[in-house]
Structure 1
Amino acid sequence: MARVLTLTLNPALDLSIRAGAIRLGEVNRTESTRLDAGGKGINVARVLAGLGHDVTVSGLLGADNETAFVRTFAECGLRDAFVRVPGETRINAKLSEQDGRVTDLNGPGPRIPERSLEELIERLWPLLPGLDAVVVSGSLPPNVAPEQFAGLITGIRERKVPVWLDTSGPALVAGLAARPSGVKPNETELAGWAGHSLDTPEERLRAALRLNTEGIDDVLLSVGAEGVIWAQRGSALMARPPRVSVVSTVGAGDTLLAGSLHGVLSRWPRERSLRFATALAAESVRHVGVGDPNATDFEVLQQQTLVQELSVKQLTRETHR
């Protein structure tokens, strides 16, 4: 299989909490709690390693509470190339209620010594030869500037390795300007880049195709339960996921990105890749954690995933019916 590196500058310990309806200002009893070593790049790495790829994880990791991460890397067969920084990695709380509502409480992360970022870059460049892809994902630590983030992406591209990006806000804007090979925003994140709301399927598709024209070959636009748009070099597919009972959406986007990249690295037709990735993301929301391609009904989920071609002209006709 392929060799992949995921880069996570601001990982987190994810505290997942299941409860009934949350009553603000009162004592609430939880149904379950779970603490996992997380961060978007680490989630992507879990999925890719489970699909048989040789995966290295890198980024910036707090030295004071690294135990859960080191254990996860060993359990999942991930090569650990993280740079340790002083202090603790942040903790993010995910509150999931019975009606499917999820509330995220995300910490900012530790401040990063300048020398640590320089050490990461020095460690990163020798890892790139022979890689088939790099995935750069997640938020930035408080004192890492979007311009520094974009410089990392540019440096990877200059070394002729495909880069896939998944972040938000100023980091996304700066990262897109560095022209990664692929990007996976949701509609809110893409709207922030576009400078206006993307309330209709036509607006979303136009924004994704605009990224194609600006030099980004693959745009995976996730629209929650409505599905996924994959715009590639001016053409687009739309996948509609099967209906499933939602327990937690945490990690669904990371699963989608990993599943799509798996298809690309396996040289599958784009329709097959998108069906696989969309079904795997649907599988992931049925439980806490990333998607499991070994689920007993995964083949059924793929069969229930509808993939079709999509065009602005088609959407315009449907809007005016």
Structure 2
Amino acid sequence: MARVLTLTLNPALDLALCTGPLRLGEVNRTQSTRLDAAGKGINVARVLARLGHAVTVSGLLGADNQTAFVQAFATCGLTDAFIRIPGETRINAKISEPDGRVTDLNGPGARVPPAALEALLERLESLVTGLDAVAISGSLPPGVAPEHLAALITRLRARQVAVWLDTSDAALAAGLAARPSGVKPNDVELAAWAGHPLDTPDAQLQAALKLNASGIDDVLLSLGADGVLWASRGQALAATPPAVSVVSTVGAGDTLLAATLHGVLSGWSRERTLGFATALSAESVRHIGLGEPDAPDFEQLLHATQLRDPTAERRPGENHP
């Protein structure tokens, strides 16, 4: 299997809470509570390791509460190459309600000293040789500016390694300008880049293809219950997930990215890759946690995932680029 590095610059201890309908300003009872050493890149790493890849995790980790992370890395078979920084890694609360609504309460993260960022860049130089891909996921902590992220992507791309990016806001804008190999925005994030609403499937398709034309080979657009659009080198494929009961959407996007990378790195066809990734993401929302490829009914979910050519759905007579 492939050798992959995931970078999480702003990891978190994720406190996942399942509740009844949330009543603001009142006492609410949780139905379940779970605390995980997480962060988007770490979530991607867990799925990739579960699928058989050799995965190294790196980034910036608070030294004062690292125990849960160290234990998780050992349990999941991940190679720990994190730079430790002073202070505590943040705690993010994710509240899931029965109707599928998820409310995130995310902390900013510990401030990163300039020396720690330099140490990370030096460590990456020793890690990048022989890698098949790097996945950079999540927000930026205080002390790491969007231009730092862009420089990091440029540095990795200069070493001829594939770089996939999943972030948002100013970090996404700066990251896109550095031309990673692939990106995984949602519709809101892609609309922010495009500068106008993407309120139709065709508008989403055109924006994704425009990113392809700008030099980003793969655009994996996650659309929640509406599925996934994958624009790859000017060719598009869409997937509709099977209908499932939603418990929590936390980690669904990370599962989608990891499963897509799995297919790409395994040399699968686009159809097989997107079908697998969409089904595994759908599996993940049925429970708290990441997608389980060993779920007893995963084959049924896979067969119920529908693929289609989105270009065939464009209305005839429209003037498309």
Normalised-by-shorter TM-score class:
over 0.9
AA paired with 1:13? L
AA paired with 1:49? A
User: Structure 1 residues 68-77 or 26-35, which shifts more?
Assistant: 26-35
Matches within 5 A, 1:12-23: 12-23=12-23
- The secondary structure found in structure 2 opposite 1:139 is coil
| 1:171 equivalent in alignment to 2:163 | no
Which residue in the other structure is 2:142 paired with?
A: 142
Which residue in the other structure is 1:62 paired with?
A: 62
User: Structure 1 residues 141-150 or 2-11, which shifts more?
Assistant: 141-150
Matches within 5 A, 1:178-189: 178-189=178-189
Distance (Å, rounded) in 1 between the aligned partners of 2:209 and 2:124 = 31
| 1:42 equivalent in alignment to 2:50 | no
AA paired with 2:119? E
Which residue in the other structure is 1:77 paired with?
A: 77
Which residue in the other structure is 1:5 paired with?
A: 5
Distance (Å, rounded) in 2 between the aligned partners of 1:301 and 1:4 = 27
- The secondary structure found in structure 2 opposite 1:294 is coil
Q: Which aligned runs of 4 or more in structure 1 are off by greater than 4 angstroms?
A: none
Unaligned runs of 5+ in 1: none
Distance (Å, rounded) in 2 between the aligned partners of 1:129 and 1:62 = 26
AA paired with 1:92? N
8 Å CA contact 1:235–1:310 kept in 2: the answer is no
AA paired with 1:83? I
State the Cα distance separating 1:73 from its structure 2 match. 0.2
Distance (Å, rounded) in 1 between the aligned partners of 2:120 and 2:242 = 41
Distance (Å, rounded) in 2 between the aligned partners of 1:189 and 1:196 = 11
TM-score, normalising length: structure 2: 0.98
| 1:303 equivalent in alignment to 2:306 | no
Q: Deviations over 1:220-257 (max 9, x none)?
A: 00111001000011110000000000000000000000
Unaligned runs of 5+ in 2: none
AA paired with 1:210? K
Which residue in the other structure is 1:315 paired with?
A: 314
Which residue in the other structure is 2:97 paired with?
A: 97
State the Cα distance separating 1:315 from its structure 2 match. 2.0
State the Cα distance separating 1:308 from its structure 2 match. 1.3
Q: Deviations over 1:50-79 (max 9, x none)?
A: 000000000000000001100100000000
- The secondary structure found in structure 1 opposite 2:165 is strand
Matches within 5 A, 1:145-164: 145-164=145-164
Which residue in the other structure is 1:263 paired with?
A: 263
Distance (Å, rounded) in 2 between the aligned partners of 1:41 and 1:318 = 43
State the Cα distance separating 1:318 from its structure 2 match. 11
Which residue in the other structure is 2:128 paired with?
A: 128
- The secondary structure found in structure 2 opposite 1:316 is coil
8 Å CA contact 2:114–2:143 kept in 1: the answer is no
Identical columns (%): 71
Distance (Å, rounded) in 1 between the aligned partners of 2:133 and 2:32 = 37
- The secondary structure found in structure 1 opposite 2:26 is coil
Distance (Å, rounded) in 1 between the aligned partners of 2:118 and 2:247 = 40
The CA RMSD over aligned residues, in Å, is 1.1
Distance (Å, rounded) in 1 between the aligned partners of 2:42 and 2:233 = 28
- The secondary structure found in structure 2 opposite 1:87 is coil
Distance (Å, rounded) in 2 between the aligned partners of 1:316 and 1:34 = 47
State the Cα distance separating 1:125 from its structure 2 match. 1.1
Distance (Å, rounded) in 2 between the aligned partners of 1:62 and 1:238 = 39
8 Å CA contact 2:16–2:33 kept in 1: the answer is yes
Distance (Å, rounded) in 1 between the aligned partners of 2:316 and 2:245 = 33
State the Cα distance separating 1:316 from its structure 2 match. 2.6
AA paired with 1:314? E
- The secondary structure found in structure 2 opposite 1:61 is strand
Q: Deviations over 1:139-194 (max 9, x none)?
A: 00022110011000000000010000000000000000000000000000111111
AA paired with 2:305? T
Distance (Å, rounded) in 2 between the aligned partners of 1:306 and 1:318 = 27
Number of residue-to-residue matches in the alignment:
318
State the Cα distance separating 1:29 from its structure 2 match. 1.1
State the Cα distance separating 1:99 from its structure 2 match. 1.7
